[in-house]
Amino acid sequence: MTNSPTLSSELLDTLRQNSKDNASFERLVEAFELSAASAHDQWQAHYHAFNEELSNHLKLIRDLESRWETLIKAIPVGIIIHNNIQIEYCNQAAADLLGVPSSVQLVALPLTRFATPHDLEHLQKFAAHPNSTTPLIVETDMLRMDDSTLTVEVRIARLHPDNPIFVSVVTDISARKNAERLRQETAQLEAAFHAESLMQKTKDALMRRISHEFRNPLAIIQTSAEIITRYRDRLDDVGMQKRTQQIIAQVDYLVVILEELGLMLEGQLHIDQIDLERFDLKALCEEVMGLMSAAVGGNATFTFVANPEAGDFHVVSDKRFMQFVLRHALMDTIMRASSNAHVDFYLQQNNGGVMVCTRTFLDESSADDERDVTMHELFYDDSLQVEQNSNLKMLNDVVQLLGGQFTPNPPEFKTEHKYCLMIMLPTQWTESVPNQ
């Protein structure tokens, strides 16, 4: 048989000794040769099949290596494989990010050439946990070959738990960071525009209020002056004193209105910038109440109550805006009340913040006073909302800017002849956008 295996002499001697004659010996030799030839053919078939399978696997591996290399080269993010801190392989995208013409030039270079010591500290901590399956993600400014910096995100993963071999995926996030900065700047501009718009609305509301509030005092002054001029001989001392006090009270009120206008026009209330400071709100309330008492003269009296009396009412806010709110609330309360009004002025600690409340009782005996009845009916009209009243709208906007909440005439204080403003304020101001 061609390529058949040959029996050894030792095997032939053994077969001859166990054969009865030459014929049986020949048959045994022939059987052994056939068996050996069959085994040889089977071995050769398995060998060829194994070689073919091995070749197919090697071809598949080479194809996978080629595809992997093509993928790594084509991927738009940087891929760096490094042994601890020494670069062993990287794609061209990584070379482009680092400002190197060819990826070959990066091989064997240390990462210390491009990473900050802080980033290397992250890598060392990460390397100390070989069984960690969570990649390390770092956003940093990587140093390029020309010593310029590039904002990148680096994701580092360990390839094998027993070896310090890592793969780092480097992504250029400078465009994203620039977009984030642009969004922040846009938000700041929008906030500034909103604040300027709020300032303009506040000024407009103040002008509308001045236009409206000037009419009644001027009318009362004119009427009282005409009565004194025409009917001086008919007025007794009480009547003369009443008309004179009316003129004085209205002049005092106009002075307060002009002071508020001057405060706005002088730019002391910049709504586009909160100037934070720590101050005693209780002391500020007492100061404002003193200013208002002097402004209205004998036209109104005040009672100030702080609860608890010995409580700490220090707040962190804008003192100028806070003073504006307190003055405005007191003046609005006085103007809603009748002549010789008494205003209760409350300051109370409330749920981690403070509550400021102004309250007055409308004089039932002044029902024939057209102004008092009109203001009373106007305020208690269910259709009246804060947005429909320019004075309250302005006060509401400034309170919101201070992070507080403004409630005109809350239900728990509402009675037939009562007017109340309640303002809730935080003790620590935080930035927020006022509601529209």
- CA-to-CA distance for 268 and 259, rounded, in angstroms? 12
> Taking 80 as the threshold, does the pLDDT of residue 436 lie above it?
no
* Residue 383: per-residue pLDDT: 37
Q: What is the pLDDT of residue 262?
A: 63
Residue 279 has a pLDDT of 92
pLDDT reading at 381 higher than 50: no
pLDDT at 389: 55
Rounded (10°) CA dihedral 241, 244, 246, 252: -130
With a cut of 50, say whether residue 376 has pLDDT above it: no
pLDDT at 286 > cutoff 80:
yes
Q: What's the pLDDT score for residue 283? A: 92
Q: Is the pLDDT of residue 379 over 80?
A: no
Mean pLDDT of 42-56: 86
Higher pLDDT, 365 or 240: 240
Instruction: Give me the pLDDT at residue 281, please.
Output: 92
If one counts every other C-beta atom within 10 angstroms of the C-beta of residue 145, the result is 15
* Whether the predicted pLDDT of 203 surpasses 80: no
Assign 3-class secondary structure to 51-70: HHHHHHHHHHHHHHHHHHHH
Report the alpha-carbon angle 273-279-285, nearest 5: 100
Across all residues in the chain, what is the average pLDDT? 76
Which contacts (CB < 8 Å, 24+ apart) does range 105-110 have?
A: 106/80, 110/85, 110/86
Fold type of domain 75-172: Beta-Lactamase (3.30.450)
CA–CA–CA angle 336, 418, 216 (5° rounding): 15
pLDDT above 80: residue 12: no
Backbone angles phi, psi at 324, to 5 degrees: -60, -45
Torsion, Cα of 175, 178, 184, 187 (10° steps): -70
CA–CA separation, 58 and 372 (whole Å):
101
Alpha-helical runs (H) found in 303-434: 319-336, 370-379, 390-401
Give the mean pLDDT of 275-302. 80
Is the pLDDT confidence value at 74 over 70? yes
Q: What's the gap between Cα 18 and its chain centre?
A: 99
Task: With 0.75 as the threshold, say if the pTM is over it.
Answer: no
The mean-pLDDT minimum among 284-293, 325-334, 352-361, 372-381 falls in 372-381
Q: Which whole number is the average pLDDT over 348-363? A: 80
- Rounded Cα distance between 190 and 184, Å, is 10
Beta strands (DSSP E) in 1-93 are 78-83, 86-90
Q: What CATH code would you report for 181-426? A: 3.30.565.10
Q: Are 363 and 341 in contact (CB under 8 A)?
A: yes
How many whole angstroms separate alpha carbon 53 and alpha carbon 59?
Answer: 10
Which residue reads 């005040």 in tokens?
Answer: 302
Reference 278, options 326, 323, 325, 313; nearest CA is 313
Going from the C-alpha of 301 to that of each of 222, 249, 328, 337, the distances in angstroms are 25, 13, 16, 12
User: pLDDT tens across 211-262, in order?
Assistant: 666 776 787 788 888 888 888 888 888 888 888 877 887 776 677 667 666 6
Residue 222 is predicted with a pLDDT of 85
DSSP 203: H
Question: Confidence band (pLDDT; 50, 70, 90) for 374?
Answer: very low
Closest-CA residue to 332 (of 383, 256, 269)? 256
Residue 17's identity, in one-letter code, is Q
